[in-house]
Amino acid sequence: MRGKKLTIGVSAVLVAAAVGVGGAYGISQLGDDDAAASTSDSRIQSTPSTPATDVPTETPTPVSASSATVTPSPTSTPEPTESPTPEVMMAQGDSGDDVRELQARLKQIEWYEPDITGEYDDVTVEAVAGFQAKRELDDTGELDEQTWDVLIGMTQQPTDDELHNRPVAGPPILQYGDTGDDVRELQARLKQIEWFIGEITPNYGDVTKESVAGFQAKRGLPETGDVDQETWDTLVAMTQEPTDDELHNRDPEEDEEEDEDEDEENDGGNAAGLPSECATGRVLCIDKSTQSLRWAIDGEVHTTLDVRFGSELTPTREGVFSIGWKSRDHVSSLYDTPMPYAMFFSGGQAIHYSPDFAANGYNGASHGCVNVRDEGTIASLFEQVEVGDKVVVYWS
């Protein structure tokens, strides 16, 4: 019985304790609910009637680079720009070594004819302008970088001899110490024009060297005593092919045929007395000694004309040439002078009618051309001569 009472008593205590704790929890919870209600009422009074709702954002779907479409931005059309004016390097009035080099380079390609002066004068202006026009450059007559680059590409660095108008010898084809038949021919040709005295020999010795040097000096060639191509060409143009008798110091036998040839020469009918280069084919045979031009076909002279030549400053070239082109009403681009019935045979040098020669005779000179004063005859000759016909300029 006592045990049962004890159990009932403990249970009662536990129940009382539980009720006490629960009551306390309820009171506490009630206080919290009141506070929450108070807070809720305050929130309702301070917010809008329609509460904002956060809208969830969608995660973008990745797009591969290959499927992306790029809209190009419009591009503007560039405005055309003017080409810059080439910088002028030299012009009229300039002087010095640079001008010398310019003139020398132009002379190498036959755009400048007088001696090198180092002065950028009217002749140089005309030469530069002509070169520019030929190359389809602006023909201003002033040297700009573009013109200079083109000119350098067509020429060589001038030697000191070129820059100072000293003749330059080519490589020798016959020289001191050589022997053989070529030396015999050289001596025989020199003997024909009285530059070699003595017996013809096969030996190129002191006498031959002195004879060659004298001939070169007389013709304005480099005085070396050795035979270069220019010396040989000049000599050949002035002489005839030596006979076997000449080459071996035998007196030629004169026969009736030679007498007949001489009679025909006096009549002006064939090539006797002309250089061997004029004996065959169609040839304009021009003799500086007699100041004459003879038009010969296969050794027969058809026309003879008085002519004059260039001065010491602008000499007419000697040698064997051919007609390169013709111009009936030509005007010189260098000197702005008329050159009617021009037949060009060496660069800018031509055979043509000269009103000045007709008016003043030999009281003047050309700039290197072969002047003719008979207009009617040169007009007729112009029609007969063809491009490719031979021209021989020589001293008799």
pLDDT digits (tens, 9 = 90+) for 116-165: 999 999 999 999 999 999 999 999 999 999 999 999 999 999 988 889 98
Look at 393 and 67; give whichever has higher pLDDT. Answer: 393
User: With bands split at pLDDT 50, 70 and 90, how would you rate the model's confidence at 29?
Assistant: very low
Contacts of 123 (CB under 8 A, 6+ apart): 112, 114, 334, 335
30-53: average pLDDT: 43
Query: Would you tell me how many other CB atoms lie within 10 Å of the CB of residue 133?
Result: 13
User: With bands split at pLDDT 50, 70 and 90, how would you rate the model's confidence at 28?
Assistant: very low
Q: What is the CATH number of domain 181-247?
A: 1.10.101.10
* The pLDDT of residue 22 is above 50: no
User: With bands split at pLDDT 50, 70 and 90, how would you rate the model's confidence at 169?
Assistant: confident
CATH superfamily of 88-163: PGBD-like superfamily/PGBD (1.10.101.10)
340-360: average pLDDT: 93
Which range has the worst mean pLDDT, 8-12, 207-211, 279-283? 8-12
For the stretch 257-275, pLDDT in tens is: 555 555 544 444 444 578 9
CATH topology agreement for domains 88-163 and 181-247: yes
Mean pLDDT of all residues in the chain?
A: 81
Domain extent listing, the chain: 88-163, 181-247, 268-394
CATH architecture, domain 268-394:
Beta Barrel (2.40)
For the stretch 285-329, pLDDT in tens is: 999 988 999 999 998 999 999 999 998 888 999 999 999 999 999
Nearest Cα neighbor of 227 from 217, 212, 237, 242 is 212
Task: Look at residue 165 in the predicted model and tell me its pLDDT.
Answer: 86
Task: Look at residue 260 in the predicted model and tell me its pLDDT.
Answer: 54
